Every structure is written in structure tokens, then in C-alpha cells.
Amino acid sequence: MIPQRAPILELRGITKAFGGVEALRGVDFALFAGEIHGLVGENGAGKSTLMKIIAGVHAEFSGRSILDGKDTRFRSTRDAHAAGIAMVHQELSVAPDLSVAENVFLGTQPTNRFGLVQWRRMAREAGEQLAKFGIDVDPMSRLGDLPIGMQQLIEIARVLFSGARIVILDEPTSALSPPEVERLFATLRRLRDEGCAIVFISHFIEDILRVSDTVTVFRNGRKVAETEAAATSKAALIEAMIGKGSEALGETYTDDIMLPPPTDRPAVLKADELTLARSLQDVSFEARGGEVLGIYGFMGCGQLELARILFGKIKPDRGTLIVGGEPKSFASTAAARRAGVAFVPESRRAMLFHQEPVYKNISISVLGRISALLLKPARERSIAARQVEQLQIRPAAVELELGMLSGGNQQKVALAKWLSYPPRLLVLCEPTRGMDVGAKNDVVNIVRDLRAKGLAVIVLSTEPETVLSLADRIIVLKRGAVVREFAHEMVSKDRLLQAA
Amino acid sequence: MASSESATVPADRKRPRSVGRFLRSQMRNIAPFLTLICLTGFFAAASPSFATLDNFGNILTQVSVTGIIAVGLTFVILCAEIDLSIASIANVTGIAVAYFTLQDSYVNIANVPMPGWAAVMLALALCALLGVVNAFGLTVIGIPSFIMTLAMMQIAAGISALLVRGQIAYKVPDVITTLGSGSIGGIPCIVIVAALMLLGGHLVLTYTRFGRYVYMVGGNREAAEYSGLNVKLILGSAMVIAAVCSGIGGMLGVAHFGSAQQNEFDTYLLDSIAAVVVGGTSLFGGRGGIGNTIVGLFVLGVLNNGLDHVNIDSFLKILIRGLILLAALVINVYAQRLRERSVD
């Protein structure tokens, strides 16, 4: 319920533009102590921008920001920190080479009167704090050695325990397994009961509804609805988000769906007993033309490493790859590309050139085909323009710097770079992570299109919905080993979760 | 759909912002140019002998060797790497070409005389080989370029020392003598060579596939690798290009100075790096180019030459050069930040 008190933080008439594109238009927003406030909206709707204003990341904006009844203007994240506001960003920001304890106490290590770090005290207190969160790790172990999901939990824990009064979490659950999500929610509820104000941004509307007291919906830079979580439903929120009836889009995959019979086309790729220290154990599978193979598993199950082996970025310790009937041992990603393998990693940052125009981002993978020595910029632009048109990338301007595009559109660019000359095998990691419903549907349609053209597609994801919406056949990875294959049978979110 | 926001922005509000954004994003190109204009203006006002056609020719000649070396270094820095061995490689190549040329009898060096073309070929092969070693250490073994080229700096200096053993050689092949100290129609050949090499570097970076790859690898190495580029090959090529440019600079430099000896090129390391960076090429890679390097060369050239004209304490000159370099570095980093903000 919405407490009838003065808000701890109030924003009035916030407007913010990036290079002429208005990300927020006259938004009012109020946050109360002791509430969890869910934010939903499609990519580019403005929710992250608003939160970055609150957290001091964006210092330039118009409108008023009132903290504890006083007009406040943060010039940096430091200012916001000092005022008790902390944010966990969508992208992991930890120091992988430092210990868990050092990460928990980053910038606030306990010191003795000579200014030396008290290691034992730091380790003990870090262990205690993490234990409250249900995290049981050696505080002195190197953070980078832990699974990504665990790293994310530790980062969230650090912010939650930093003593902040206002905590903003941007998509905190996307890299977490269900039990980890439960732990996070329990901690959020406890902090709320202790009087914290928590903002929770997520595309997982079920998560929002489960944990939030209040939900605010953004659309196109405007706040379009604010309601008590108990008084709304997923369908209603989706309708507010996209502004149209959403029955067709409300696919939840809780019901069984039937996987199609296996295709009799030859295998484009055969992986045989791939093994990598600490990540993969005797993983074997086939990817056939005209088929989408889904590889599902929780964070840290080895799928990221598997994908990198397929694209020649990591060499397996043991096992063979057979591409198009020939055994291959890729010396580099360039060799994998020449063999007809294309790859889209799970992070856009690892795939795109933010300072370069859209057309250079799209043409980079095909330059070798369109030019021997000299570049052909006109050809590049026309190839890019065709992809922009086909994938409906917005705004449709190939000269625009990539960094100006919204996240979902950047993701489409990452796909587009491989599609001008379709590869034999397309490996997609988390192709729809962090995307809104509309953009997700676009990606599903693009992948189906490629399948129809006879490509072999491998989709690796930690989100069951992603795999279920795309795959014709699904294998489940658990701790680096294949534990289950679903082919030509009934499958559902429950069954996948149970297998993993 | 995701973002149709831009369509609804009133046109009149779009314009001033995008001009401001453009200026901010071009900061790295504008600042060095303004520095150059200010310096030129200052020295022209301070000394009547500065702003003359003759002196302009002097400046061109003075920056030529640095310019030749800086061409290759621009490739390396665009890749977000560094090469500290350029001056040493220039030195050893210059010494090698003299070593393979018949010296006068009073020169006490156990040299191996060869025909001119063979001497030049061997010297070029030497610098290319040293570049390949740099490339191998960086890409195959995985030594950071800073350390790898630091070692190469010593190795090349060591080879130089062994070749000349503290002596000075004077003769180089005729073709090198002509290119280094001759002139065509009043224009020194070395200036022409520097101009051609800068032009060539610019054409490669701007109009070839390899040039694009250099920018992409420098802009985001991980993304370049996941786009299927052979990142190691590109980085390695940049290191070899830097070494060969340095070698050419070294050979012509020896002809230009009239002698080949140990430590002859020591100041060229700092000068070349300064020229590239002062010109506005980003030390973080992916931004800048030969155009920036040319402006940087002129800034350094005008500064060095101008300080001679205003008759300043020669010890103070060193300090002033250092301060100007620092200012340029501040602008370089600041421009990067402004740019990131404008993209954000």
C-alpha cells in the first residue's frame, strides 16, 4: 500500500534529452520510505534514465528533485552516495581480481589507527553480511573465480548493506537462478521493513508483482500509470506498457508446448565430448540446418564457455568440433567466421562499437566479402540500410552513432552484422535479455526466418522463456554436463526448471 | 515499438544541441589546431625572424624524421597499444645501413661493405624483423606492448652498440644520402618523403579495410574479436608498420645528420609519441589519425623552432616543452570524457 506520508524523495517535471532525443518528458515520481517501488516499461521508455538522475549519474536535466523536503541537485554519484542513495546497475561492476571481502567493502575498508587495512575484521564482517543474505562463500576467495550469478548477488549485497536509505536495482534478477531470486527478495523485504526505500526495475513482470508495493509504468519517456501492486495484474501492466491489448503477447510458457519432430537434415555442427576445466564435462550435441537448438541452464552452467568454444575464442581441453563434416580446431574467431560460424555474445558491450556509426557496426563482419583492399562506403551503407529496414532498427539512420540507440535496437544491430551474408551456424547468447516484449517478438521472428532459410541456430540462455520461444529442440546443461534433451515431446517452463 | 521518440522532438530545439554536441565530440580535433594557431601567433609576434618562408622550410625539415617515425606510431596508438622501441629501432636501422656501406679508412668500424641496394634491403629487413619480434611478443606470447617494446628498446640499442662500438660512421648508400639530405627544386627530399609517407598512412587508415580494422580493434577489441576479426594479425601488423617506418626514419635521419652513432635518436621517442598524442589521437585507441599527427607535428615543430627564435634559456625550453605536452595530454583525456558524455 502507499503510505500517506511525505515522500523521502520526490521528482517533479523531470525532462531529459540525449542529443535531441527526449528520454524523459515531464515525469513526476515520488518514493516513500518503507516501500518497494517497481518500475516497468519497454526498452527506451525512460526508467533507467530516471533512476540514473536519482543516483547522480546524469547531472544535467530540467525539473525539480526534492530529497527530505529540500530541493537537491546531485552533481555526481558521490553526492548521491553521501545522501544515502545507491544504485546497482544492469551491468556488473565489480573488481574481479579482488577478494570477495574487498569487493563488499570497496572504498570503505576498516582500518586501524595507523590507516592500515584490518584484513581479519574485514573478512569476518564481510562473511557475516553475506551470510545474512544466504551467501556462503570464503570472503577471501577471488571474486572473479565465482559464478557470474554469485558475483551479481555479492554486488547487490554490497549496495544493500552500504547503509543506503534509497536503493535502486536495475534488472537485478536477469542473471540469477530461482533460489537466488528468492534470497534477493527476502532481503529486499527485510530492508523495506527496516525503512529503506527500494526501486526495482525489471522486465520480469511476475517478479515486479511479487515483490513490489507500488508499480509505476513508463512509456515513451512518460509515466503512464502508478498503481498498487496488489490491485493490478500482469496483463494490465503489459497493456499500460505497450499501450494496446496484449493477450497475444502474454505468453507465459507455463503450459506444455509440443516440440516439432526432429529434422532429417544433416548436422551443420557436431560437438563431441567437449571438455574444459571447471566449466564443461563431455558435452556432445548436434546442430542441424533448419533447426533451432536451445541450450538452457542456470547461470554458471558452462553455456558461456561452450558458446566461446564454438566461436574459436576458447580452446577446449578435450573433445572435437565437426563443422560441415570436417573436424575443426579454431585457432581464432576469424577462423570460426571463415568456417561459417557467427556469434552474438550475451553482452552488447562485447559486440558493438559505441562510438562508431551504425553502418560500420553492421558492415564490420562482411568487409572481407565486399572489399578486397579498398573500402566501399556506399556499399556498406546500402547493406546496413537494408538490414536496418528488415530488422526495423529505430531510428532508421545508418550514420547515427551506435551509442545513441536504445538497448533493444543495439541488440538488433548486433544481430544485423551477421545477416547480410548468412552464416551456416548462428550462435546466440541471451538474444532477448533485457528486451521489451515488442523487440523480443522481433528477434523471435528474425530467428524463425533464418531457420526457414536452412541455417542452424543455437540459442543459449538462462531464461526458460527465451529458449521455449525459440527452440525446436532443447538440451539442458547442469554444472557443465548435458543432463537432459527435449526433442519431439512436451516441454514447459516447469519441466525445464526441474531438469536444470 | 522501442523508440520512436526522436520523431516527436520539435525541430527548433534539436539544432543548437546538436551543434554543441558536434563541437564537444570534435574537441579532440579542434583543441590541437587552436594550440597550433596560438603558438604560431605568439612566436610570430615575439620574433620577426619566425614568420618567414625560410623558417617555415626549416620547421618542415626539422619535423621530417619525427614525422616519418610518427606515421607507424599512429597505427600502434590507434590500436590502443604503444611502441617505446621506435627510436631505438630507428637508430639501429640507421647504423645498420652505414655498417653495410664502405666507410672511409679513418673510420674504425669492422663494417661489411655491400652494394647500396643490398645495404638498404638488409637494413629494412632488420627493422622489419625487430617489428616482427615485437608483434610476436605482444600477440602470441601476450606481453603487454609497453613492456615488450621496452625490452626491444634495449635490444635494438644493444645491437647498435655492438655494430658501432662507440665509433661514428659517416657513409650511407647514395640513394639514402639523396633522400636524406638532397633536395628537389629547393624542397628537401626528406620533407617530400615525410609528406608521402604521411599521405600513404592516411590513405591506408582511411580507405582500406585494414585501416578500418585498426580503428575497430582500437575502439573495442573484444567486439572486434567477436566480429570475427583476426585481432592478433591486425595488432601485429601495426607493430611491424611502426618498426619499418622507424627504420626508414632512421636511415634518412642518419643521412640528414651526416653521421651514424649510438643514442643519436634518443629524443625521437618522446617527440614522436608527443606528436601523435598532442595531435589528438586517443591513447585509448580508435580515435584520431594521420591528420591529427600532422597537426601534432606542427605544434611540436613550431614550439621547438619558435623557442629558439625568442632566445629563451635553453634549460627552460625543456621545461616548457614538458608543460605543453602535459597540457595536450590533459586535453586528450578530457576530450575523450566529453565525447563519452555526449554519446551517453
pLDDT tens, residue by residue, B244-297: 999 999 999 999 999 999 999 999 999 999 999 888 898 888 989 999 999 999
Confidence of residue B12 (pLDDT cuts 50, 70, 90): very low
Contact A332 B212 (CB under 8 A): no
- B162 vs A: CB within 8 A: no
Which residue in A52, A61, A332, A369 has the most chain B C-beta atoms within 10 A of its own C-beta, making it the best mutation to test that interface? A332
State the Cα–Cα distance between residues A28 and A286, nearest whole angstrom.
Answer: 53
Cis amide linkage into residue A395, ω under 30° from 0? yes
Would you say residue B24 has pLDDT above 80? no
ipTM of the complex, rounded to two decimals? 0.82
| Alpha-carbon separation of residue B171 from A126, A481, B106, B193, B262 (angstroms) | 71, 70, 12, 20, 15
| pLDDT score, position A250 | 46
For A:47-106, CB contacts with B below 8 A are 58
| pLDDT score, position A436 | 73
| pLDDT score, position B8 | 36
Of A282 and B13, which is predicted with more confidence? A282
Confidence of residue B144 (pLDDT cuts 50, 70, 90): very high
Report chain A (500 residues): mean pLDDT per 10 consecutive residues. 71 83 87 92 80 88 89 87 85 82 81 83 87 81 80 83 86 74 86 90 84 90 89 82 52 70 87 86 92 84 89 91 88 90 87 90 89 89 91 85 83 88 90 78 88 92 85 88 89 76
**Distance to chain A for B197, nearest Cα, Å:** 18
| pLDDT score, position A179 | 78
Residue B56 lies in a domain: no
State the Cα–Cα distance between residues A189 and A56, nearest whole angstrom.
Answer: 25
**Distance to chain B for A487, nearest Cα, Å:** 30
| pLDDT score, position A292 | 94
Is 3.40.50.300 the CATH classification of the domain at A251-340+423-500? yes
In this structure, what are the phi and psi dihedrals at residue B340, rounded to the nearest 5 degrees? Answer: -60, -40
Q: Whole-number mean pLDDT of chain B?
A: 88
Closest Cα to residue B213, out of B138, B286, B128? B286
Residue B172 lies in a domain: yes
Would you say residue B15 has pLDDT above 50? no
Residue B283 lies in a domain: yes
State the Cα–Cα distance between residues A500 and A476, nearest whole angstrom.
Answer: 6
| pLDDT score, position A300 | 65
State the Cα–Cα distance between residues A225 and A233, nearest whole angstrom.
Answer: 13
What are the respective helix, strand and coil percentages of chain B, to the nearest 5? 75, 0, 25
Query: What's the domain range around B179?
Result: 67-292
Residues of B in contact with A334 (CB under 8 A): 228-230, 233
Residue B213 lies in a domain: yes
Domain ranges of chain A: 9-248, 251-340+423-500, 350-421
Class of domain A9-248: alpha beta
Residue B14 lies in a domain: no
DSSP letter string, B238-294: HHHHHHHHHHHHHHHHHHHHT-B-TTTTHHHHHHHHHHHHHTT--TTSSS--HHHHH
Would you say residue B160 has pLDDT above 70? yes
| pLDDT score, position B14 | 41
Residue B281 lies in a domain: yes
Establish, for the pair of chains A and B, how many residue pairs have beta carbons separated by less than 8 Å.
Answer: 134
| pLDDT score, position B110 | 78
Residues of B in contact with A368 (CB under 8 A): 209
pLDDT tens, residue by residue, B26-57: 777 788 888 889 889 988 998 888 888 889 99
A285: number of Cβ within 10 Å: 19
In chain B, the number of structural domains is 1
B182: number of Cβ within 10 Å: 14
pLDDT tens, residue by residue, A209-267: 999 999 999 988 889 889 998 888 887 887 787 665 434 444 555 567 888 888 888 88
DSSP tag of B120:
H
State the Cα–Cα distance between residues B146 and A273, nearest whole angstrom.
Answer: 40
Closest CA in chain B for residue A222: B5
Which residue in B79, B227, B232 has the most chain A C-beta atoms within 10 A of its own C-beta, making it the best mutation to test that interface? B227
pLDDT tens, residue by residue, B92-122: 999 999 999 988 878 777 788 889 899 999 9
Of A177 and B179, which is predicted with more confidence? B179
| pLDDT score, position B7 | 37
CB-nearest to B227 from A365, A373, A394 is A365
